[in-house]
């Protein structure tokens, strides 16, 4: 498995060096048993060989920090994320932006609004910081504006922040695998979690993802205005992902 992951890393680095694209595709799930959330890439090999990675590089466009692939079916979006980070540091997951983190920003209808609407969601994973010895991942969702979390979430300890969910996020499942390079995530987000009844070929979603590596900084795929995290919170600057067969 280690050799496969290393080869994958080299491949995505080459892809990332070609351009810093803000459009991508998600390929319909073809694995017979669906996507098994275990943090391993078995069901992603065909997608990876096609070279359709989205990548985040550090701000000087020098260092690849992560790559992401997407698949989908009628009820869910699936993400496989490779993160390069050999020093995972536990922090307070409620302050996930100060932790090693992967954040997914999804605008289910690609409405490109200035603020979140009912179809938007911000989801995150910290690879460590959970469990009794802080070695387990945590997941969460942060409510912003008029997204679907306004009613369900609890208020963040910082009053200027919106409602936040950690520990169990309806419609979100995550598996992680830590290795010598960093870690890999498999994430499932239900269409219902972003206010959609389902997904179909040709749908376009607004999308961004960001990774924070405490030793390197924060990098995003659709970096937005200057790559500042708060700017990335505005759906209008996100990229677009088209669902294809």
Q: Which stretch binds Ca ion (CB under 5 A): 39-47, 66-74, 143-151, 229-237?
A: 39-47
- Minimum distance, C-beta of residue 35 to Ca ion, in the bound complex (Å): 6
Among 36, 87, 152, 154, binds Ca ion (CB under 5 A): 36
Q: Which residue number, 40 or 95, has a Cβ lying nearer to Ca ion?
A: 40
Q: Which residue number, 38 or 158, has a Cβ lying nearer to Ca ion?
A: 38
Q: Does 38 bind Ca ion (CB under 5 A)?
A: yes
Q: Does 158 bind Ca ion (CB under 5 A)?
A: no
Q: Which residue number, 6 or 155, has a Cβ lying nearer to Ca ion?
A: 6
Q: By C-alpha distance, which of 128, 122, 158 is closest to 141?
A: 122
Burial of 206: CB neighbours in 10 Å, binned 0-12, 13-18, 19+: buried
Count, in order, helices (H) and strands (E) of the chain: 3, 14
CA dist 126 and 136 (Å) reads: 9
Q: Does 13 bind Ca ion (CB under 5 A)?
A: no
Q: Which stretch binds Ca ion (CB under 5 A): 36-44, 92-100, 213-221, 229-237?
A: 36-44
- Minimum distance, C-beta of residue 231 to Ca ion, in the bound complex (Å): 33
Q: Does 45 bind Ca ion (CB under 5 A)?
A: no
- Minimum distance, C-beta of residue 149 to Ca ion, in the bound complex (Å): 27
Q: Which residue number, 38 or 74, has a Cβ lying nearer to Ca ion?
A: 38
Q: By C-alpha distance, which of 156, 48, 37, 4 is closest to 94?
A: 156
Q: Which residue has the tokens 């708060």?
A: 230
Burial of 59: CB neighbours in 10 Å, binned 0-12, 13-18, 19+: middle
Sign of CA dihedral 214, 205, 153, 192: negative
Name 187's Cβ contacts closer than 8 Å, sequence gap at least 6: 37, 78, 79, 80, 81, 104, 123, 125, 172, 173, 174
Q: Which residue number, 36 or 115, has a Cβ lying nearer to Ca ion?
A: 36
Q: Which residue number, 9 or 40, has a Cβ lying nearer to Ca ion?
A: 40
- Minimum distance, C-beta of residue 187 to Ca ion, in the bound complex (Å): 11
List phi, psi (to 5°) of 75.
Answer: -110, -10
Among 40, 63, 89, 190, binds Ca ion (CB under 5 A): 40
Q: Does 173 bind Ca ion (CB under 5 A)?
A: no
CA dist 106 and 110 (Å) reads: 8
Q: Does 177 bind Ca ion (CB under 5 A)?
A: no
- Minimum distance, C-beta of residue 190 to Ca ion, in the bound complex (Å): 17
Binding residues vs Ca ion (CB under 5 A): 36, 38, 40
């Amino acid at each position: 498995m280690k050799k496969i992951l290393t080869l994958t890393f080299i491949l995505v680095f080459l892809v990332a060096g070609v351009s810093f694209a803000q459009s991508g595709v998600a390929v319909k799930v073809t694995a017979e048993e669906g996507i098994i959330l275990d943090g391993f890439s078995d069901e992603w090999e065909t997608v990876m060989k096609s070279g359709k990675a989205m990548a985040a590089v550090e701000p000087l466009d020098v260092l690849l920090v992560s790559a992401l692939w997407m698949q989908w079916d009628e009820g869910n979006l699936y993400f496989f994320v490779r993160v390069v980070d050999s020093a995972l540091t536990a922090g307070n997951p409620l302050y996930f932006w100060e932790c090693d983190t992967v954040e997914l920003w999804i605008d289910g209808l690609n409405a490109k609004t200035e603020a979140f609407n009912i179809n938007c969601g911000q989801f995150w994973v910290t690879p460590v910081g959970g469990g009794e010895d802080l070695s387990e991942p945590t997941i969460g969702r942060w409510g912003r504006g008029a997204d679907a979390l306004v009613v369900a979430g609890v208020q963040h300890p910082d009053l200027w922040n919106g409602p936040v969910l950690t520990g169990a996020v309806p419609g979100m499942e995550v598996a992680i695998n830590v290795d010598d390079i960093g870690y890999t995530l498999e994430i499932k987000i239900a269409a219902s979690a972003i206010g959609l009844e389902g997904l179909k070929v040709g749908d376009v979603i607004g999308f961004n993802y960001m990774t924070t590596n405490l030793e390197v900084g924060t990098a995003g795929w659709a970096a937005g205005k200057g790559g500042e995290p708060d700017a990335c919170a505005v759906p209008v600057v996100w990229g677009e992902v088209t669902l294809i067969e």
